[in-house]
Amino acid sequence: MSNFIQLRISIIAMVVLPIAAETALVYPWITNTELFTSKVIINNLGSEMATVRLEAIRPLGNTPQTEIAVLTIDPLAQTVLSSAELFPGLGLGSGYMVLLTSDLDQISGSAVVYGTGSHSGSSPAQADVIDLAAAHDTILFNYLSAGAEHDASAPVILNPGDQDATVSFCAYQNGQLAGYAKRVLPATHPFAETTTSLFPHLQGDLYLVASSDQAIMGIAFIFNALLEPAMSNVTAINEVPAASDRPYVDTFLAGGVAMDGFIMDNQGNIIAAGGYLRDDVLMISKDGQVSTLVTGLNGPVHMAKRPTGEIYVSSFNDGTIKSITPSGDVDLFAQGLDAPVGMAFDGNGDMVVCEYGGTAPGNTLSRITPNGDISQFANDPLLNTPIDILARPNGEFYVANQVGGRIMNVDAAGNVTLIGQIPGNLGHMVYLDGLLYATGGNFIYQMDLAGQVRVFAGTGQSSEQDGPLEVADFRTPNGIAVGPDQKTLFIASATRGVSNSTIRRIYLSL
């Protein structure tokens, strides 16, 4: 990929538009370098003299940052000026956007980029100026390419609003959603990134849909191996194509928390145990705001919610289970357990808890009545560091071992039978629609009730690449919970007490 693409396409500052302007247009990218230059074309289609104000704004950190030009254009006339003529004070350097405003409403124009460093020394490419009123929440880039062996390309997106925009990028290739990425665009700023940077796993031709929670606009750039440019305006569309209903992964919260096991309430808020090296329980709202619910615990590792709504936390280090009221008060529920972790409630209101073993491996499940009385429920060699437990409607349970990754069924009498086993060690698990989902290594595993196991998501690489299941990566996934919509899995990475856990989402369907 050329140095021009890597160095010249970047985020550009914008200004708030004059309210009184009859015309407000944007040239997304104008350039004047050793390799490329531009012409700005302005047409006055009206019958009156037009005054036009042009403001060039460079990417933040580049100097000179901005320059303003004011022109008068005769009726029915056309003005064609090179970037060097129009903004001589900017000189050679980083490209820039140009905001055009005018007191008349019959102004049009375009921009032409010339590849002066190309084989031909010219190779012009043209794209029309964009009316800010044409912004839309979903836009289509009809043709781009990705990969080092293919023509370099880049989508440029403008966020003309007064709030940050969250933009999702869906790349389509070979009849399917082949890549997914998400970026936050600062308010009144555009964004540009090469297609290869957005989707490093893709190679070849594709089309791209960008959808946002605010109105956006854009333009596409593509360059061949001779540095000859081409530009194309985008198309506004009504919705993301249906192929995006395929399961995919994105990032809900990018780092900043330490957490182990967690649950979710009916509103989509996360209640998370800090982990055996910490003393806190966190509340993470559905919009990603983090607060501390309680502190002063001794190694909280998992959460549970009684069907009547009471919340419980297991403390690994002191062998206790405590209840937490909605106001954050903490009460002792049970003590004397051997490193408790996962908890679940049966139909009688009794809690069954995994005793991981303080010196490991534990092989016991204990039953705790609503008044805190403890008795042994199951003890079996198949139980080896039991870490998570899920209640079944028939009074039985699914139980998972951390060490060795066994997943077992435990009947109402405490008899243990093996269902299946994931490779390596297991973090936590959930049950949804007849399937068990478990975290382990850098993977999310899926197991059916016959014990058949497959990798559901993750490539094995320890990273946090979003996208379709076959390309998304996970970094030591650990805690897992089902969202209130029963269509989304939330997964948090293990941190060993350090506040750098990332929470990911797997959208099973939309």
pLDDT at res. 19: 37
pLDDT in tens, 53-82: 999 887 667 788 899 999 999 999 999 999
- Peptide bond connecting 361 to the previous residue in cis, omega within 30 degrees of 0: yes
pLDDT at res. 21: 58
Contact 21, 103 (CB under 8 A): yes
What average pLDDT does range 415-443 have in this prediction?
A: 97
Which residues, in sequence order, are CB contacts of 393 under 8 Å at separation 6+?
347
Contact 381, 363 (CB under 8 A): yes
pTM of the model: 0.62
- Rounded Cα distance, 348 and 370, in Å: 9
The secondary structure of residue 16, as a DSSP letter, is P
Instruction: Please choose, from the candidates 401, 407, 447, 440, the residue with its C-alpha nearest in 3D space to the C-alpha of residue 423.
Output: 440
Domains of the chain: 3-246 (2.60.290.11), 249-507 (2.120.10.30)
Residue 76: exposed, middle, or buried by beta-carbon count in 10 A (0-12, 13-18, 19+)?
exposed
- Rounded Cα distance, 171 and 106, in Å: 36
What average pLDDT does range 188-198 have in this prediction?
A: 84
- Rounded Cα distance, 82 and 246, in Å: 47
pLDDT in tens, 483-510: 998 989 999 999 899 999 999 999 887 5
Selected residue with higher pLDDT from 165 and 75:
75
Which residues, in sequence order, are CB contacts of 56 under 8 Å at separation 6+?
30, 66, 67, 68, 69, 86, 87, 90, 96, 97, 98
Please give, one letter per residue, the 3-state secondary structure of 321-335.
Answer: EEEECCCCCEEEEEC
pLDDT at res. 75: 96
What average pLDDT does range 449-475 have in this prediction?
A: 89
The answer on pLDDT for 244 being more than 60 is no
Which single residue is written with the structure tokens 């010219």?
Answer: 122
What average pLDDT does range 97-102 have in this prediction?
A: 90
Pairing of strands 386-391, 397-401: antiparallel
- Rounded Cα distance, 317 and 37, in Å: 66
pLDDT at res. 245: 57
What average pLDDT does range 222-227 have in this prediction?
A: 85
- Rounded Cα distance, 50 and 74, in Å: 7
Question: What is the gyration radius of the CA atoms in the chain, in angstroms?
Answer: 29
- Count CA atoms closer than 13 A to 137's CA, side-chain side: 8
Give the whole-number percent of the chain exceeding pLDDT 70: 94
What average pLDDT does range 399-409 have in this prediction?
A: 98
3-state secondary structure of 454: strand
pLDDT at res. 242: 65
Distances (CA, A) of 311 to 219, 285, 328, 507: 50, 16, 10, 26
Contact 220, 229 (CB under 8 A): no
Cα-to-chain-centroid distance, residue 324? 31
Contact 14, 97 (CB under 8 A): yes
What average pLDDT does range 429-456 have in this prediction?
A: 96
Selected residue with higher pLDDT from 379 and 246:
379
Most confident by average pLDDT, 8-12, 237-241, 395-399: 395-399
- Amino acid identity, position 32: N
- Rounded Cα distance, 352 and 312, in Å: 12
What average pLDDT does range 273-299 have in this prediction?
A: 95
The answer on pLDDT for 15 being more than 50 is no
pLDDT in tens, 39-56: 999 999 999 999 999 998
DSSP string, 241-295: -GGGGS-EEEEEEEEEE--SSEEE-TTS-EEEE--TT---EEEE-TT--EEEEE-
pLDDT at res. 14: 36
The answer on pLDDT for 116 being more than 90 is no
Most confident by average pLDDT, 52-61, 91-100, 121-130, 329-338: 329-338
What average pLDDT does range 120-129 have in this prediction?
A: 87
The answer on pLDDT for 458 being more than 70 is yes
The answer on pLDDT for 349 being more than 70 is yes
Q: Is 470 left (phi over 0), alpha (psi -120 to 50) or beta?
A: alpha
The answer on pLDDT for 189 being more than 90 is no
Confidence band for 18, pLDDT divided at 50, 70 and 90? very low
